[in-house]
Chain A
Amino acid sequence: MTSGMPESEAIERAQQGDGECFEALYSMHKRRVYSLCLRMTGNTAEAEDLTQEAFLQLYRKIATFRGESAFSTWLHRLAVNVVLMHLRKKGLPEVSLQETMEPTEEDGPKKDFGAHDQVLAGSIDRVNLERAIESLPPGYRIIFVLHDVEGYEHNEIAEMMGCSIGNSKSQLHKARMKLRDLLKITRAERAGARK
């Protein structure tokens, strides 16, 4: 490439059909798009298929990019929509939204009214957190990834998923509570293994 070419120039040339510049954009953004797909689906094969689909859509739509937002933001939103569309096509209940997307009681976190045990601070590493996210029920995982990992606001999530802002907040809270449970179990298992 194109090596050393500013992203803005690569975008402009890719908009005119330059395949090498499109490949350069792929190289710049593939990790972020793939990570998003992997975290949202929890499945490597699906994540690779969705990464491919997202970049194919990017190629077809790149001429419509007007620079009103950062290119990475625009691409990211496109990738989120590809994943959500895929999950809807699969007919999974987690994207049928509103109350029907709520996992069952046994999937959900427990309320914490009396227990007072050790706090988590300082005890989470990246690997354990990634594993815990992967094991979340899909409905919780999608909201958690969009909000806490990817930084979307509740109003954006509500718009993308066709749910209310309150529903997004509620699902996020349940996801964090469930993660807390999972991370405490992991910590207890690690402590038990050391004994």
Chain B
Amino acid sequence: MRTGEAIAMATKQETKATGIGAVEIPGRDNQMNCADFQRDLPLIIDSGGSEEQEEHLRTCDVCRDLVNDLRYIADQAKLLVPMLEPSPKVWDGIEEKLKLEGLIKPVQARRTP
């Protein structure tokens, strides 16, 4: 058996045994499968991958959906704005400590807006 045929057969056997999908590209024996792609994904998701990895992404629905989901989560996280504010007791505590340390002088009765 030639080397290329052996690799192709091994890949098909791995796919059958583990359920791990592999993209079928005619003429390419040593193609990237989902396990390989997802193993490297942490390092490439924000910066882009090699030609082979990008090819896998273009042709594999499962990995493409995964990457789209992860990028969507990251994009949504960027939109989170500081909504909540601390209770007034936080400033009271700061002011009290600074006065105790003599760092600020007592201010007339007044509260942070």
Contacts and interface: CB of A to CB of B under 8 A. Distances in A.
Answer yes or no: do A and B interact: yes
B12 to A, nearest CB: 15
Contact of A59 (B72, B76, B98): B98
Nearest to B19: A114
Interface in B35-94: 35, 38, 41-43, 45, 61-62, 65-66, 68-70, 72-74, 76-80, 82-87, 89-91, 93-94
Interface residues of A, number: 51
A52 B113 CA distance: 17
B72 A124 contact: yes
B60 to A, nearest CB: 10
Contact of B86 (A23, A30, A148, A174): A30
Contacts of A47: 86
Given A32-B82, A48-B90, A51-B90, A180 B69 contact: yes
A162 to B, nearest CB: 19
B62 A115 contact: yes
A169 B113 CA distance: 41
Interface stretch (A5-13, A14-22, A86-94, A95-103): A14-22
Main secondary structure of the interface of B (DSSP, over half): helix
13 contacts: A31-B82, A38-B84, A52-B93, A56-B98, A112-B62, A112-B66, A113-B21, A114-B21, A116-B62, A148-B77, A149-B78, A173-B41, A183-B73
Given A30-B86, A169-B43, 14 more contacts: A23-B112, A30-B90, A48-B90, A52-B90, A56-B97, A113-B20, A114-B21, A119-B72, A120-B72, A126-B76, A133-B77, A173-B70, A176-B73, A177-B70
